Amino acid sequence: MTKRPSQSVALARAEHARLGAEIAAHDRRYYQDDAPTVSDADYDALRRRYEALEKAFPELKAAGSLSDTVGAAPSEKFAKVRHAVPMLSLGNIFADEDVEEFCARVRRFLGLSDDMALAMTAEPKIDGLSCTLRYEDGALVRAATRGDGYEGEDVTANVRTIDAIPNHLAGAPSVFEARGEVYMRHADFRALNARQAEAGKPTFANPRNAAAGSLRQLDPRITAGRPLAFFAYAWGEVSEAFAATQFEAIAAMGRFGLPTNPLTRLCRSAAEMLAQYRAVEAQRASLGYDIDGVVYKVDDLALQQRLGFVSRSPRWAVAHKFPAERATTVLEGIEIQVGRTGALTPVARLRPVTVGGVVVANATLHNEDEIARKDVRIGDTVVVQRAGDVIPQVVEVVPDKRPPGAEPYRFPETCPVCGSAALREIDEKTGEADVVRRCTGQLVCAAQAVEGLKHFCSRNAFDIEGLGDKQIELFFKEGLIRTAADIFTLRARDGQGRPPLRDWEGFGETSVKNLFDAIDARRAIAFNRFLFALGIRRIGETNARRFARHFGDWETFRAAARAPDAAAELGAIDGIGPVVAESVADFFAEARNEAALDALLAQVTVEPMEAIAANHPLAGKTIVFTGSLERMSRDEAKAMAERLGAKVSGSISARTDLVVAGPGAGSKLTKARDLGVETIDEEEWLRRSAGA
Ligand code: IVH
C-alpha cells in the first residue's frame, strides 16, 4: 500500500536493511537498556514503514525479518482506559531521619499529638509495573496499565492469561478494582532469557523490563507463555467499603483470592518502621524477586481519606527506597542540550557501564556549578549512580585516574544551537546568579522552538499520536511546522509547493492519514492540558490544573492574565506564588505570544473544566481561611475544600464567597465584614463541608 511505483527492489532492499538495523537498535535500547531514545509513536512509524515495505516487496522477508520477533510494544495499538480513580505515584525518601519526618508531617496535618497512636503498614515496594484489575460481580472484566496515571492501556486479554491473577474473586464487593504490581520472579526471568537466546531473540536486561515487555504484547498468546506474577496492595473504584484499615484491606484481598505480599507488617512507631525496613532489606537478595524499597502507609483508611493527595502522590504514603547503585566508568564527552525554556543542560556521554542491571551511557551533570564543584573533566573516570527510575547521575570524579593533560571544563557562554548569548539570571532579591544558564534567543532559537513543539505534542499536553520528537524535528527543519498553529493546518497545506507527505521517506498513505486524523482528534482540548501545552515557564501540570480549576474556563483566565494588575490577581490564587503569577503575566504581556495564541485558538477549542463534585453546595465557591482552626490544620481544611470543588484563596475580595474565621482572625475578617462577605466559624465549616 505504501509502494511507490517507481521504487526499485534494490532501493527497497536498502531501506529495508537500514530500517531493520534501526529498529533492532531501538529494541535493544528499549528492552535491554531500558533507555529508549524514540517515542513509541516514532518507533511505530518505523515499524509501519518496515512492514509496508515487506508487503510491497515480499522477497525482502526471506532475507530475515524482524517482523516475527519479540520487539514492538507500540502503545497506540492498545485501547485507552480512563481510570475512574487515578493511579498515582509515591514520594520517595532515602534517609533514616526521613521516616521520623514523614510520621511528624502526617501528625501535623492531622493535628495528632505525639502521644496519640498512629499505626502504619510497611510493605515491600515491588519493582514491576502497576496494573489495575476491575472485577464486576466477581468476574474480571478489565485490566489496564497505569499509563500517565489518569489513562492507561487496556491489557485485559493479556491479563486473563496470567495464572497468578484470578479470573474470579470470591466475596468481593460487586464492583472491585484491585491494584497491584505485575512482576517476574528471578528464576522465571532467567529461564525466559535462556529461551529467548536459544531462539535467537533479544533478551531482557532485568525482570521489570521482561514483565513490562510481556504484559504489553499485542498477541496474548505470547503473554500466556510468559511467567508473570502479581501482588495486590491497593484498590481503585469499589462499590462498598470492604475494610477499615490498610492492613485489613490487604488481608481481605487475600481472602477474595488475590495474591498479597507476605512481608507486610503493621508498625506502631517510626522505630518499628525502620526495623521492618532493615529486616526487609536483609532479605532482599533471597526473596527471588526484585524490590526497590519499603512503602509505608497510614493504616487507618479514614485518616488516609483525610490526608488526601498533593499533586500526584498521597500524603498518607511514602516509599523508603534502598540505596542507589553505583559504578565507575569514563566520561567521554559533555554535550550541552538546549531545552524549551532555553536552559543549557550538560549531559555526560559515558563509556557504557552496567549499573544495577541496566546499561547506562548517558547521565546528568546537573548544571555548570555542579561540574565546577566536582571538577569534572572530559577523560575522567567518574562514579555514576542510578536510583530506581530516576535519570542516572555523575556523583564524583575518581581523582587518581585523571589522565594527564585533562583540562578543567569550560561551560559555553553562547547557545550551541543559535549562537545567542547564554546568561545566568540574577535573582533580584538575593543578588545571586541562577544555577541555570539560559539561551537569550527565545524567538530565534531553533532548539527552544523545537522543544516547545515537542512539549506541546507530548503525552500530558496535546498528546498527538504520530507526531513524536523525530517527526517534529523533521517538519521543523523542512519549514512545514514552525508554530503550534501550523500543526492544525498541516492537512490543508499538504502538497502545497512540495511533495505531499505520503511521498516523504519514512511516511506512507496510512501513516499520513493516521497522523492527520490524530491531529483532528485533538481540536478540542481540556483547559488544563491546553495551558500546560503552552509551555509557559513555571506552569507545569499542577499549576495548570490550579489555574484551570480556579477559573473554570479559558476566556475568564485569559482576561485575568491580560489585565493590567494580572500578576497581583493571579498571585492571590491559593497555591500560586508571585513568581509563577509574574511568569504568566509576562507571557501574556508579550504581543507575539498573544498573536501565536490567537492563531492557535482559531484552530482549537478549549473546553471548560468539569466542575468537581459539582453537586456539593460548596462546589465552585471561593473560600478564604483566616485565624487558627482547632479541629483540623489549615492544610487539611484547604485540602478538604478543594476536594469538594471549592477554590481556596489567600486574600479577600468582592469575589470571595465565604470566610472561615478562627480565633485570632485579624484584618481579613474586618475586610470580609466591610465587603459583606459571609463569615462562618469552624463548627459551621465542618457542618457545611459534611453537606449539611
Ligand atoms: S501504593 C496511591 N504500594 O510503586 C499510592 N505502590 O512509586 C499507590 N509499588 O506506582 C501506590 N509496591 O507501581 C504501592 N506496596 C506498594 C507498592 C507500590 C510497588 C509501585 C507502584 C507505584 C509505584 C510508586
Angle at 595 between CA 594 and CA 601, to 5 degrees: 85
Q: Which single residue is written with the C-alpha cell 542510578? A: 386
Atom of ligand 1 nearest to the CA of 317: 5
Reading the block at residue 100, the C-alpha cell is 521520623
Residue 437, beta-bridge partner list? 424
Question: What's the 633 CA to ligand 1 centre distance in angstroms?
Answer: 27
Reading the block at residue 40, the C-alpha cell is 513509541
Burial 357-375 (b: 16+ CB within 10 A, else e): ebbbbebebbbbeebeebe
Give the predicted TM-score (pTM) of the model.
0.58
Backbone angles phi, psi at 131, to 5 degrees: -150, 145
| Secondary structure of residue 26 in the 3-state scheme | helix
**What's residue 71's pLDDT?**
35
**What's residue 312's pLDDT?**
81
CA distances (Å), origin 84, targets 96, 149, 152, 173, 615: 35, 10, 11, 16, 18
Atom of ligand 1 nearest to the CA of 125: 12
**Residue 613 scores a pLDDT above 80:** no
> Which domains does the chain show, CATH number per domain?
6-66+324-401 (2.40.50.140), 80-321 (3.30.470.30), 622-689 (3.40.50.10190)
- Per-residue pLDDT of 549-588, as tens digits, reads 889 999 999 999 999 999 998 998 888 888 899 999 999 9
Non-local (6+) Cβ contacts of 591 within 8 A are none
State the Cα–Cα distance between residues 574 and 650, nearest whole angstrom: 6
State the Cα–Cα distance between residues 441 and 342, nearest whole angstrom: 8
| Secondary structure of residue 479 in the 3-state scheme | coil
- Per-residue pLDDT of 210-268, as tens digits, reads 999 999 988 888 999 899 999 999 999 999 999 999 999 999 999 999 999 999 999 99
**Residue 119 scores a pLDDT above 60:** yes
Radius of gyration of the chain (CA): 27
Dihedral sign for Cα atoms in the order 205, 208, 211, 216: negative
Q: Is 668 a catalytic residue?
A: no
Mutate to test the pocket of ligand 1, among 85, 131, 146, 233 (most ligand atoms within 8 A of CB): 233
| Secondary structure of residue 209 in the 3-state scheme | helix
**In terms of Cα–Cα distance, which of 540, 538, 532 is closest to 462?**
532
Rounded to the nearest 5 percent, the helix, strand and coil shares of the chain are 40, 20, 40
DSSP 234-251: EEEEESS---SBHHHHHH
**What's residue 3's pLDDT?**
42
Consecutive H or E run containing 531: helix 527-533
Q: Residues enclosing ligand 1, CB less than 6 A?
A: 88-90, 123, 125-126, 130, 146, 181, 233-234, 295, 314, 317, 319
Q: What is the 3-state secondary structure (H, E, C) of 334-373?
A: EEEEECCCCEEEEEEEEEEEEECCEEEEEEECCCHHHHHH
Burial class (CB in 10 A: 0-12, 13-18, 19+), 222: middle
- Per-residue pLDDT of 311-323, as tens digits, reads 789 999 999 999 8
**By alpha-carbon position, which residue is closest to atom 2 of ligand 1?**
88
State the Cα–Cα distance between residues 299 and 601, nearest whole angstrom: 48
Question: What's the 181 CA to ligand 1 centre distance in angstroms?
Answer: 8
Reading the block at residue 542, the C-alpha cell is 499542577
Which of the residues 55, 125, 470, 513 is marked catalytic? 125
**Residue 77 scores a pLDDT above 90:** no
**What's residue 35's pLDDT?**
60
Whether the CB-CB separation of 580 and 539 falls below 8 Å is answered with yes
Mutate to test the pocket of ligand 1, among 87, 94, 130 (most ligand atoms within 8 A of CB): 130
Reading the block at residue 238, the C-alpha cell is 469499589
